[in-house]
């Protein structure tokens, strides 16, 4: 076998092992070290037992680990995670949902709209899809079920709204993408603002239209259950305003160029602690749990990076990237055809794989081709970010469905959740088409804030 053949075998074997359920990070490491030992092996280099460990793959692994540890961009990840976990455990989201539910009481599907708005706001405060879906499954689904909402409709709202966290800043996914593609996280955040809120707005429009067509899926609230306006205003003032102000300060400092994502994340983490203290929810046990969960999630991300960079380095050294690049370029595609092909592949990969695996392993295969087709890398990043929403919504690996099923148990069947998700897949694809037709949705704000993109 030639080296490119070995590279394709390496990629195929990785996909098979991941689909069998092996941990992604350690599968990447094992594949990278195993095939890397073959790639860097020199005939006659082993004279003694100690020479077995003189292979260059071990040096590469060590260097990749060190590079991850010293990467300033990645410092923002544990801080944003910590901010999200504090907000989640401080009962702030519960207050927010109740306040928005009261404020939207006159709209069709008011609880569903309140759930989507809460997901959008909470997403900007955490960027953790699992946390948003899980918490909203505990808060919003029982409330909608009590109000006789259709269970498939309610489940779809929560799962779709929960995935907004990987697109709306401060998205953890965008930080990971910036490190992989070596792009500015500031421009990526700016590029994601309009597409993120366009997608959230499209979800809300769909809910309103769907309920207007079929009111039985979301009955109106009883007048007796609606509190006085003074109570509604007070609840909005004490729940929506503080969290929103914290988010505006964090994102504003990033987009305004006043701070790096890591510095803004540190402000957000401190602000979340202050909010928790003001709500009298700050306890030692809550802090301890938040720190533990932050460390656990951060360790996973860091090992993913170490494994993926090692895997990608060996895959490229064996000629794997060149094989795929020559294969795609050989079709002599127009730029729009390349974009459609790339997004179709990423969409199909979302069926069996999660966003982290797609982003870390497969997206770098397309990045070197962007110059060949004249594609703006930030525009491509936003198409990928939107597309990765589908990895949480597409069966059989639709993780948002499993998060919701995990907290609801026998209350709802998994197939009912899948059925509730389907319309939102169509909405994501619609927004992707809109952004392709109007690239300014992704590129206007970064150009206004930071000037035209120059490679």
Distance separating alpha carbons of residues 87 and 125, to the nearest angstrom: 8
Q: At residue 225, does pLDDT exceed 80?
A: no
Report the pLDDT value the prediction gives residue 45, as an integer from 0 to 100.
62
Report the pLDDT value the prediction gives residue 152, as an integer from 0 to 100.
92
The residue-averaged pLDDT of 265-293 equals: 87
Helix (H) / strand (E) element for 136: namely: helix 129-146
Q: At residue 241, does pLDDT exceed 90?
A: no
Q: At residue 44, does pLDDT exceed 60?
A: no
The residue-averaged pLDDT of 26-39 equals: 85
Which of 47-61, 166-180, 198-212 is predicted least confidently? 47-61
Give the global pTM: 0.83
DSSP E strands, 243-353 = none
Q: Which residue has the higher pLDDT, 25 or 433?
A: 433
Report the pLDDT value the prediction gives residue 191, as an integer from 0 to 100.
92
Q: Which residue has the higher pLDDT, 51 or 24?
A: 24
Task: Name which of 254, 255, 258, 265 is nearest 76 in CA terms.
Answer: 265
List Cβ neighbours of 215 (8 Å cut-off, separation of 6 or more).
108
Give per-residue pLDDT as tens, 121-173: 877 766 666 677 887 888 888 888 888 899 999 999 998 988 887 788 877 78
Task: Name which of 43, 37, 42 is nearest 6 in CA terms.
Answer: 37
Report the pLDDT value the prediction gives residue 127, as an integer from 0 to 100.
62
Cα distances from 397 to residues 164, 234, 338, in angstroms, run 17, 41, 26
Report the pLDDT value the prediction gives residue 204, as an integer from 0 to 100.
93
Q: At residue 443, does pLDDT exceed 70?
A: yes
Report the pLDDT value the prediction gives residue 378, as an integer from 0 to 100.
93
Give per-residue pLDDT as tens, 347-364: 887 776 777 777 877 788
Q: At residue 229, does pLDDT exceed 70?
A: no
Helix (H) / strand (E) element for 418: namely: helix 414-437
Please tell me what DSSP assigns to residue 220: P
pLDDT band of 179, cuts 50, 70, 90: confident
Q: At residue 310, does pLDDT exceed 70?
A: yes
Q: At residue 52, does pLDDT exceed 70?
A: no
Report the pLDDT value the prediction gives residue 208, as an integer from 0 to 100.
93
Radius of gyration of the chain (CA): 23
Query: Which stretch, 192-201, 331-340, 406-415, has highest mean pLDDT?
Result: 192-201
pLDDT band of 370, cuts 50, 70, 90: confident
Give yes or no for a contact between 64 and 310, defined as CB atoms under 8 angstroms apart. yes
Task: Output b/e per residue, 208-221; b: 16+ Cβ within 10 A.
Answer: bebbeeeeebbeeb
Report the pLDDT value the prediction gives residue 298, as an integer from 0 to 100.
82
Q: At residue 175, does pLDDT exceed 90?
A: no
Distance separating alpha carbons of residues 364 and 313, to the nearest angstrom: 11
Which of 105-114, 197-206, 423-432 is predicted least confidently? 105-114
Query: Which stretch, 250-254, 392-396, 421-425, has highest mean pLDDT?
Result: 421-425
pLDDT band of 50, cuts 50, 70, 90: low
pLDDT band of 382, cuts 50, 70, 90: very high
Report the pLDDT value the prediction gives residue 232, as an integer from 0 to 100.
66
The residue-averaged pLDDT of 17-31 equals: 81
Q: How many CA atoms lie within 13 A of 370 on its CB side?
A: 17
User: What's the mean pLDDT when you consider all of the chain?
Assistant: 82
Distance separating alpha carbons of residues 399 and 414, to the nearest angstrom: 11
Q: Which residue has the higher pLDDT, 239 or 80?
A: 80
Q: Which residue has the higher pLDDT, 238 or 386?
A: 386
Query: Which stretch, 14-23, 67-76, 178-187, 192-201, has highest mean pLDDT?
Result: 192-201
Q: At residue 221, does pLDDT exceed 80?
A: no
Please tell me what DSSP assigns to residue 259: S
**Backbone phi and psi for residue 163, each to the nearest 5 degrees, phi listed first:** -80, -10
Task: Name which of 352, 346, 350 is nearest 364 in CA terms.
Answer: 346
Distance separating alpha carbons of residues 55 and 66, to the nearest angstrom: 18
CA 256 to chain CA mean position, Å = 23
Report the pLDDT value the prediction gives residue 325, as an integer from 0 to 100.
76
Q: What percent of the chain has pLDDT over 70?
A: 92
Distance separating alpha carbons of residues 265 and 250, to the nearest angstrom: 7
Distance separating alpha carbons of residues 161 and 124, to the nearest angstrom: 12
The residue-averaged pLDDT of 439-444 equals: 92
């Amino acid at each position: 076998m030639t080296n490119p053949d070995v590279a394709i075998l390496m990629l195929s074997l990785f996909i098979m092992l991941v689909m069998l359920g092996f941990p992604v990070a350690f599968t990447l490491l094992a594949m990278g070290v195993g095939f890397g030992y073959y790639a860097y092996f020199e005939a006659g280099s082993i004279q003694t037992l100690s020479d077995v460990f003189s292979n260059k793959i071990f040096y590469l692994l060590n260097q990749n680990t060190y590079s991850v540890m010293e990467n300033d961009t990645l410092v923002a990840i544990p801080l944003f995670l910590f901010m999200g976990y504090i907000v989640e455990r401080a009962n702030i989201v519960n207050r927010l949902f109740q306040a928005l539910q009261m404020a939207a009481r006159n709209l069709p599907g008011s609880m569903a709209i309140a759930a989507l708005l809460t997901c959008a706001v909470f997403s900007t405060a955490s960027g953790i899809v699992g946390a948003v879906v899980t918490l909203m499954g505990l808060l919003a689904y029982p409330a909608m079920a009590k109000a006789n909402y259709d269970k498939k409709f309610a489940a779809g709202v929560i799962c779709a709204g929960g995935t907004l966290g990987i697109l709306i800043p401060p998205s953890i996914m965008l930080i990971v993408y910036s490190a992989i593609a070596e792009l500015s996280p500031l421009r990526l955040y700016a590029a994601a603002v309009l597409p993120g809120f366009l997608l959230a707005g499209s979800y809300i429009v769909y809910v309103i239209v769907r309920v207007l067509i079929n009111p039985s899926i979301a009955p109106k609230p009883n007048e007796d259950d609606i509190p006085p306006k003074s109570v509604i205003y007070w609840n909005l003032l004490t729940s929506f305003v503080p969290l929103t102000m914290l988010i505006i300060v964090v994102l504003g400092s990033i987009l305004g160029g006043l701070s790096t994502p890591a510095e803004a994340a540190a402000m957000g983490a401190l602000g979340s602690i202050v909010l928790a203290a003001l709500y009298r929810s700050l306890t030692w046990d809550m802090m301890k749990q938040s720190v533990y969960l932050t460390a656990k999630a951060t360790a996973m991300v860091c090992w993913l990076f170490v494994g993926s960079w090692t895997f990608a380095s060996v895959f490229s050294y064996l000629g794997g990237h060149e094989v795929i690049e020559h294969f795609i370029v050989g079709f002599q595609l127009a730029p729009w055809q390349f974009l459609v092909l790339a997004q179709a592949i990423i969409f199909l990969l979302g069926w069996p794989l999660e966003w982290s695996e797609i982003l870390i392993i497969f997206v770098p295969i397309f990045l070197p081709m962007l110059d060949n087709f004249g594609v703006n890398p930030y525009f491509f990043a936003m198409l990928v970010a939107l597309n990765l929403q589908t990895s949480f919504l597409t069966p059989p690996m639709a993780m948002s469905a499993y998060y919701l099923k995990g907290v609801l148990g026998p209350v709802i069947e998994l197939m009912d959740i899948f059925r509730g998700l389907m319309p939102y897949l169509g909405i994501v694809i619609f927004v992707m088409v809109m952004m392709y037709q109007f690239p300014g949705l992704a590129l206007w704000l970064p150009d206004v804030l930071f000037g035209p993109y120059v490679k």
